[in-house]
Structure 1
Amino acid sequence: MTLARIDDAQRRARLAVRHLLTTRAAAVEDVAEAVVGLHATDPATVFLSACARLARPSVAEVEAAFYDRGTLVRLLCMRRTMFAVTAATAPVVQAAAGAAIAVKERRKLLDFLAEGVGWDADRLAEVERDTLRALARRGEATAVELTRDVPALLEQVVVAAGKPYETRQNVSSRIIRVLAADGRLRRGRPLGTWLSTQFRWAPATPWPELDPDEARAELARRWLASYGPGAEADLKWWTGWNLGHTRKALAAAGAVAVELSSGPGYALPDDLEPVEEPEPRAALLPALDPTPMGWQARDWYLPDRHRPRLFDTAGNVGPTVWWNGAVVGGWSQRADGGLVWELLDDVGAEAEAAIAGEADRVASWLGGVRVIPRFRTPLEKELTT
């Protein structure tokens, strides 16, 4: 049987359309659904990624989705990474990836507390109950406020004992993190601006429990619909699943084998025919954006020669410039908030003009606010200095 062949140009055409790099969405929820979830390890990424794809970019609109409508939520899930997903997608993501992460996080927390303060599972459960009761009374609270109500949260553990960077850490942050991973509390509004990394916390009801196998199949289907066609290794890396779960999910999702330029891959059965290549449009995507972080093998849209300047040593991507479904450069902000960029490929005068126009668009909605990525990359730092 001859497999359908989908070359790199066809993959880039799909990426450009499905990840909203050629058209823009009306709502934040549409953006999150288009890419399955927005990276949220760095709070600024969610806003930058969403606004890059919105017809009318607005910080207030993203905040409304999080804090007023409740249609966008943050979850610790794929690859033990924080994502912002729609409330409709959250149960699938939690069952497919988040629940297993929560189990591991709780096991690590118990080991940490047993060694550091001598707590067992019963003591942890008692402190968690007290914490949730305190949060319910307040309605919303910061971690500091919760420690005033639950003194046990102030107990400290020595971290990296004997190392030059040895420090003492309250148990509060780790306990709150595990309660959030379990879905028993959720992040509310930040203490400062949309760039803040400090959040208030609010009570929450755990997401409905779904069958893990069915959830993994549905997440694989959604990944293929947004990121496909792709290799088995790409889905395994993106989700953080083991190989057995990956293969089972692909089969249950109805994925069919295809031939990619780089080798074997998978696609949904209704995604085998050639697609029309869209009119190119420039895009400036932020550090950790879900598009450049969507695959393990990236040479079909991001040449390997560019990786050393666009990624840090831990594999985090910096701000990228896109044209015609491919990475062609990187960008940053000066101290005054102005945007600067460098093209790593010759893209021609039309593309350069479009990129300059997109930079003006991003600068306009940012309004002089300067965003410094949490994980800085060589080209981003070069452009800043």
Structure 2
Amino acid sequence: MNHWVIYLDNNSNKKGFIKDFKKGKAPLNFLEFENKTGRLFSPFTLEKLIDEEDKHDKKIISTEHQSLETMSSGEQKRALLHHLLSENPDYIILDNPFDNLDIAFQEQLKDILKNHSSQISFIQLASRRADTLSFINNYGKLDKNEFSIIENTEFSEGYSTETFSHVSIPKAITTYSCFQNPLISFKNVNIAYGDKRILNNINWTINKGDFWQLSGTNGSGKSTILSMIFGDNPKAYGQDIYLFGNKKGSGESVWDIKNNIGYYAPAMTNKFNGRHSIENMLISGLTDSVGLYTIPTELQKRIVKQWLTLLDLHALKDTYFNSLSTGKQRLVMTARAMVKRPPILILDEPTAGMDDDSAALLIALVNKFANETDTAIIFVSHRKEKGLKPERILDLIPSKNGSSGIIK
């Protein structure tokens, strides 16, 4: 069987390639797949199935006990893969199959794919070269719309050496209360939903300037912990949780808490689908708005100019945000979360779906935040990102009694 990997960067027209392939307009190198039955293992497929199940109130790949929409990302991918394999296609296109999956399930997925590789051809679209499946025997890359074969598969990982060392992190123009340590404290926190235990005796303290990575398998409780810090999870009330010196549920509003925290997750990018310039995107981080609807002050413009210079984007300041590559959008959004120099910065899977070079650039920026500011950073990721330098790791280890937290 012929199996392909096609390496992507954040300028690759992946959607166009998939669309053309399904219409029989694939590059000549893929003529063997013409008139054959194919399937797509992709978030696009999951979105379509979720929509169909919701509209028609029927189960397609949902189980008796859980709908597709309420499954974790890992459970969704597992259900989708088994569904596609059961249809016995000639080939399956794998769209960044390991994104948002914990290491254990990545290994399970690799084994499943390898076991079927003698009956089904796989065409893997990969942003990370380390994700390449072991049985791949053909290599290519997609440069915007142009596909080409890679003859030599022994290439470097291509990590950027950029470290943003030429400009310091701009100063804050927002004045925060003089918070004392700890900024966040969890003491023997236990969370359950009905009979399902999620967290078991979590003890975690975050002080000014700390740099933490929060890790754990899919479903281990990472999102639950974040929702108790940044969200309005009612399960937090009655627990021994302190945020900025106040016990959770002692009268503060969720907006009071959010005002002291910078937060970014890739899904937030979809909120900014209007015609916002890069400059206005960063200024909106100072005003906590989706878009800019007030005239910025000279001080705001001066600080944002420094941020644009730091990101090497000043020449593009009037460029529309939604016209940028994924990599540049993530840099802007990460900087936007930090532009107020908040006491705490939470980055939730910020490198998911990024190519190697773009991810390395973002990691360099986060390391710079840690080195030059007293903002406490919580970096959430399934991956062990090359070059990331957290001081400590809180690893959630699941059990029947809920996940315990191991500090490394």
TM value normalised by structure 1 = 0.27
| Higher strand proportion | 2
TM-score (norm 2): 0.26
Which structure has more RCO (C-alpha within 8 Å, separation ≥ 6)? 2
